[in-house]
Amino acid sequence: MANKSYFVINGLLLVWLLTGTPVSALSIQWLPLSDSATREGNPGSILGSPVLDFKNAGKDGMDWIAMGIGPRGGYGKQELWLFDNSKAGIPGTSEAATTFSVVSSSVAFIMKGDHNDGYAQFFVDDTEVGVFDLYHLGRVILAVTGLELVMHSLKVVQLGYHNPASTKADVAIFGGAAFNAVTSPTEIIEPPVWALFLTGFLYFIGRRVPSSNDHRAA
């Protein structure tokens, strides 16, 4: 019986090790855009890591592709605007997307929110990461870390609604950034190593404990 038990326990541990919780968990956080950022919104670094690729969003999209039936505009090379003109009788929403040219484990949306901004939906690699109210957020960064190390894509959708304090539901985009967030080595190494040690220990104990069948045979 003991021999069967240690095989079952080892099997479960190995399944957890191979298919269990990913080493790096997805994390989403808002950060202020520093005054040292360029006029186009490139922060240079995020969470202490250098920006590897910056996709500028300006009038007509620049490094982004803007689409949809809603009106769009911008402030030169600095901002892409997805307008909400429903009060003027011009319905429709729009969106903008970009793809990075480098691999990274983290990405960021560089945004601006003032008195006339509303809700936007954010996507990384076509997976929604959240819907957020941009009203009076100022110059901000929405950082998404803990991603797979590949080339990622971003998409922002202007939803066309806002909280009562905002005058409209516009969305303003400075750009997007790819970077590699610094991760503690302990977080990466500790779970697999302890699982291997535990698996080996249980295997050793299981080999040394004779089963009841062994006793009867003796």
| Chain segment 24-34, per-residue pLDDT in tens | 478 999 999 98
Whether residue 36 sits in one domain with residue 12 = no
Residue whose tokens read 């319905």: 91
Domain extent, residue 103, equals: 27-179
Is the domain of 191 the same as that of 175? no
**Same domain for 108 and 47?**
yes
Are 139 and 41 in contact by the 8 Å Cβ rule? The answer is: yes
| Confidence band for 180, pLDDT divided at 50, 70 and 90 | very high
**In this predicted structure, what is the pLDDT of residue 207?**
57
How far is the C-alpha of 3 from the C-alpha of 171, rounded, in Å?
Answer: 63
Residue 1's CB is within 10 A of a number of other CB atoms, namely 8
Task: Assess whether 155 and 204 both reside in one domain.
Answer: no
Would residue 218 count as lying in a domain?
A: no
What angle (nearest 5°) sits at the alpha carbon of residue 39, between those of residues 38 and 43?
Answer: 30
Q: Same domain, yes or no, for 161 and 71? A: yes
CA distances for 124 relative to 2, 71, 150, 163, angstroms: 48, 24, 12, 25
The answer to the question of residue 48 being in a domain is yes
**What is the CATH number for 55?**
2.60.120.260
Bridge partners, 97 (sequence order) = 65, 155
Any residues with CB less than 8 A from the CB of 73 and at least 6 apart, and which? Answer: 59, 81, 83
| 126 within domain boundaries | yes
**Residues 115, 11 share a domain:** no
Q: How far apart are CA 218 and CA 206, in angstroms?
A: 19
- Residue whose structure tokens are 């541990």: 13
> C-alpha distances in angstroms, 69 versus 26, 81, 85, 94, 102?
32, 13, 11, 6, 31
pLDDT band at 85 (very low <50, low <70, confident <90, very high): confident
CA angle at 169 for the pair 166 and 174, rounded to the nearest 5°: 105
The rounded distance, in Å, linking the Cα atoms of 94 and 67 is 6
Q: What is the pLDDT of residues 96-145, one digit of tens each?
A: 999 999 999 999 999 999 999 999 999 999 999 999 999 999 999 999 99
Q: Verify that 53 and 74 share a domain, yes or no.
A: yes
* Domain assignment of residue 215, yes or no: no
How many separate domains does the chain show? 2
Residue 49 lies in a domain: yes
**pLDDT value for 35:** 86
Q: Are residues 173 and 203 in the same domain?
A: no
Mean pLDDT, residues 56-65: 87
Q: How confident is the model at residue 73 (pLDDT cuts 50, 70, 90)?
A: confident
Give how far Cα 101 sits from Cα of 36, 55, 141, 152, 214, Å.
24, 9, 20, 8, 63
Q: What are the backbone angles phi and psi of residue 138, rounded to the nearest 5°?
A: 80, -155
Whether 108 and 201 map to the same domain: the answer is: no
Looking at residues 189-218, what average pLDDT do you find?
49
State the Rg of the chain over Cα. 25
One domain, residues 137 and 206: no
